[in-house]
Amino acid sequence: MKKMINNPDHVIEELMEGYIIAYPEYIRRTELHQRALIGKKRNPNRKVSILIGGGSGHEPAFIGYVGAGMADGVAVGNIFASPSPIPIQAVTKEIHNGHGVLYIYGNYAGDLMNFEMASEMTEIEDEIQTAAVIGNDDVASSKDIDDRRGIAGELLVYKTAGAAADFGYDLEEVRRIAQQANDNTRSMGIGLSPCYLPQTGKPSFDLEDNEMEIGLGHHGEPGIEKTTIRTAKETVQVMMQNILKEGLYKENDDVVVLVNGLGATSQMELFIINKEVDAILKARKINTYKSYIGNFITSMEMGGFSVTLMKLDETLKSCIDHPVDCPNFKEV
Amino acid sequence: MKKMINNPDHVIEELMEGYIIAYPEYIRRTELHQRALIGKKRNPNRKVSILIGGGSGHEPAFIGYVGAGMADGVAVGNIFASPSPIPIQAVTKEIHNGHGVLYIYGNYAGDLMNFEMASEMTEIEDEIQTAAVIGNDDVASSKDIDDRRGIAGELLVYKTAGAAADFGYDLEEVRRIAQQANDNTRSMGIGLSPCYLPQTGKPSFDLEDNEMEIGLGHHGEPGIEKTTIRTAKETVQVMMQNILKEGLYKENDDVVVLVNGLGATSQMELFIINKEVDAILKARKINTYKSYIGNFITSMEMGGFSVTLMKLDETLKSCIDHPVDCPNFKEV
């Protein structure tokens, strides 16, 4: 393990400090909890507040998606571990505006437990109404949709929910639109090389030098198959087959394409991957409405990537078109 | 070497295709040359045009910095190799607006030769006036400033030049301001792990498992010293000592801070590095006017990073404050 850090026990506090120092106009601490961070750029039209969060190690997620048109606050967990209910409650109390708070998080046991507990605490102790949308876009993680993990597709759910909140909708309507975004979104990932956990120095998974893992989760959860490494074209064909066989994306549909790097995979490769995704969509006469190519939700220095599609209706298009302003995620 | 590509001989054409497919509103091809790409978002105030370019493998550079407030066109080279004069001439002919073209490129033998040849060709054959600013921010590469390589600091020169062009200045004034930006900029890099060249499969440099290289160039050029890996704090201290001993950055100065990841170094690490940079600047009472933290000019999947400072005067501040709109580099 080769990491440019100081003390492995302090990486979370130090990365938060380095982030806040870089972008003080976007985010601040709250006295309520050191793992609770609050956005500074709130659209005055916004009634409902958006709270995101999850484990650390996915930078710029989740901290980087607090900003205008996106989340109002973030609860920060340990590496690949859910935040506890206490910072979630702290963020909720600080950002709620009398109109309720929407929680958006991934479908992982720890996140489910902690966000649900925080929701109960804030409703009983603080009389703040909450709702939740739980990301489950990873088609490789289970045949049963309710058991699927949330991976990069959550970025598009944040963007949709943030826009709906900026439009001034109430909690139930923001939740409904964000849930629709989630329901229209499918992803699949590929692992090429592991990341290393700072405290243990252990790799997140094992692969031979010539192997890749199809369907790998973004904490290194096992995928569908380990194979020898294939070309970008062959790999994307397998991924798109799995995404398209869901039956959600049809001729003349408009979709968002998200090619997300996990950390160590080069931008050059992500662009080549996008070319292959596009060829398959064009062959099916599915229209790409917008593309996002980059490292949006990483797994530290893991090698690999995911491909995500989100099907758009008119409401979701208006949300995707809505401007956002986060330090490294801006649309004008 | 584990890369998600198709044919190693076609990576440049395929990455260009994948990029243009993703961002068709930003960039287009020209019939004049397949390695010549032209921007679509030009400020109507802009007289002078900006041409950037260099070797591939630095994505999102250089292609990704064609956009509003930045470059008008890019000449694309092979991996870590300068573009030939032909695409540089092609871009020049396509983007010039009767007011001349400013070339910005790094101080490498191949780039110098090819951009100078292109400049002569366009002046003689096409009667287009050109000027050049040559990035040489890497303090580790030579004691003699004229021999220094250009690394991540070029991003700030693009931004400055783009703003000056948008302000409607003439070629000499845009060149002068961009040269000032370059003269006020110093960088230093660290290598942790090599990238692999697609066609040869060879690593860009060799390091032991517990080693890092201080002062490494962003194509793997040798640095000052190989040492066992140190903490972020110790490493940044060495880098900042080398940058600050130039005598350019003094108490009460305003600076831009750029922490640039080379590819495989995690965002988490970059934020921790930024914390250490900031501590040293605060101790010297140097003010951070703006921070950029991310993978802006990479070396494919190389592990490592650089730190850049640019000292600001009022003109450079107005340039840094000017909005830009590139696919993954936007400021509102």
Q: How confident is the model at residue A1 (pLDDT cuts 50, 70, 90)?
A: confident
Tell me the torsion sign for CA atoms B233, B234, B239, B240.
Answer: positive
pLDDT given at position A332: 84
State how far the Cα of A180 lies from the Cα of A52, in Å rounded to an integer: 17
pLDDT given at position B332: 84
Confirm whether B99 is a catalytic residue. no
pLDDT digits (tens, 9 = 90+) for A271-330: 999 999 999 999 999 999 999 999 999 999 999 999 999 999 999 999 999 999 999 999
Q: Which of B33, B218, B219, B322 is catalytic?
A: B219
Reduced to 3 DSSP states, what percent helix, strand and coil does chain B have, rounded to the nearest 5?
Answer: 35, 30, 35
State how far the Cα of B213 lies from the Cα of B228, in Å rounded to an integer: 9
Are the Cβ atoms of A229 and B2 closer than 8 angstroms? Answer: yes
On chain A, the residues whose CB falls within 8 A of the CB of B303 are 2, 264, 301
CA distance B57 to chain A (A): 7
Are the Cβ atoms of A298 and B266 closer than 8 angstroms? Answer: yes
On chain B, the residues whose CB falls within 8 A of the CB of A235 are 4
CA distance B228 to chain A (A): 10
Q: CA-CA distances (angstroms) from residue A110 to A136, A300, B39, B148?
A: 14, 20, 46, 51
State how far the Cα of B104 lies from the Cα of A128, in Å rounded to an integer: 55
pLDDT given at position B102: 98
State how far the Cα of A212 lies from the Cα of A188, in Å rounded to an integer: 14
CB A218 within 8 A of CB A262: yes
pLDDT given at position B194: 96
pLDDT digits (tens, 9 = 90+) for B22-36: 999 999 999 999 999
CB A40 within 8 A of CB A27: yes
pLDDT given at position B282: 98
Structure tokens at B330: 């936007």
Residues (pLDDT < 70) of chain B are: none
Are the Cβ atoms of A293 and B18 closer than 8 angstroms? Answer: yes
Nearest residue on chain B to A19, alpha-carbon basis: B271
Residues 134-193, chain B: which have Cβ within 8 Å of A? 190, 192-193
Closest to B161 in 3D by CA, of B103, B205, B208: B103
In chain A, what are the domains? 8-183 (3.40.50.10440), 185-331 (3.30.1180.20)
pLDDT given at position B176: 98
| Buried/exposed A147-182: b ≥16 CB within 10 Å, e otherwise | ebbbbbbbbbbbbbbbbbbbbebebeebbbbbbbbb
Residue B116: how many other CB atoms lie within 10 Å: 15
pLDDT digits (tens, 9 = 90+) for A208-265: 999 999 999 999 999 999 999 999 999 999 999 999 999 999 999 999 999 999 999 9
pLDDT digits (tens, 9 = 90+) for A70-99: 999 999 999 999 999 999 999 999 999 999
pLDDT digits (tens, 9 = 90+) for B78-90: 999 999 999 999 9
